[in-house]
Amino acid sequence: MKVEALSIPEVLLIAPKVFGDVRGFFMESWNRRAFAAAGLDLDFVQDNHSRSQQGVLRGLHYQIHQPQGKLVRVVSGAVFDVAVDLRRSSPHFGRWAGATLSAENQQMLWVPPGFAHGFYVLSESADFLYKTTEFYAPEAERCVIWNDPDIAIDWPLVDGKPPLLATKDAAGLPLSASETFP
């Protein structure tokens, strides 16, 4: 497995070793020992799966209490995946890092606790799988608005059309009005 730090060094792009043969392919999508050897000693408690159609944007989500680390990947289709640093003590506070994750490139992104996370669906539909280090805590859920000019995420919007959002995501707060982490 290959691990690459993005522009925010705690956000990691992970390329697992993929074994292809005449039948198809095999890969380890999670191996506690191998990830620990790469510096990610993680204790996951939940696996999630969502399906979204093209143009959907989910995010930018975080939990202010029980912050979650997320190991995310795509098993069908393609998304542009983004992590925003919400740690006030970080030199990268308010900055974003992103990557295209797809069934084809089989890459994963590690989004550490203390970050908001979101993704935009590039393909006709996308199946998105992720593991989390903390349980879902709806009362702690927060949402930063996807298009906050202070963060200025360069979303690769298909045909330049506005994304399809959940009502709660359309009501996300700007970073300046959001609760953040120490």
Ligand X SMILES: Cc1cn([C@H]2C[C@H](O)[C@@H](COP(=O)(O)OP(=O)(O)O[C@H]3O[C@@H](C)C(=O)[C@@H](O)[C@H]3O)O2)c(=O)[nH]c1=O
Residues in touch with ligand X (CB under 6 A): 48, 50, 58-59, 61, 70, 117-119, 136, 166
The count of other CB atoms within 10 Å of the CB of residue 7 is 10
**Exactly one of 62, 117, 120, 130 is catalytic; which is it?**
130
Q: How far is the CB of 26 from ligand X (least distance, A)?
A: 27
Q: How far is the CB of 21 from ligand X (least distance, A)?
A: 34
Active-site annotation holds for 117: no
Q: Coil, strand, or helix at residue 77?
A: coil
- Choose between 61 and 73: whose C-beta lies nearer to ligand X: 61
- Choose between 19 and 136: whose C-beta lies nearer to ligand X: 136
Q: What residues contact 80, with CB distance under 8 A and at least 6 apart? A: 98, 99, 100, 119, 120, 122, 155, 156
Active-site annotation holds for 61: yes
- Choose between 114 and 118: whose C-beta lies nearer to ligand X: 118
Q: How far is the CB of 60 from ligand X (least distance, A)?
A: 7
The count of other CB atoms within 10 Å of the CB of residue 8 is 21
Distance (Å, whole) CA 178 – CA 65: 14
Q: How far is the CB of 3 from ligand X (least distance, A)?
A: 21
For tokens 């959907």, the residue is: 56
- Choose between 103 and 164: whose C-beta lies nearer to ligand X: 164
Positions annotated as catalytic residues are 61, 130
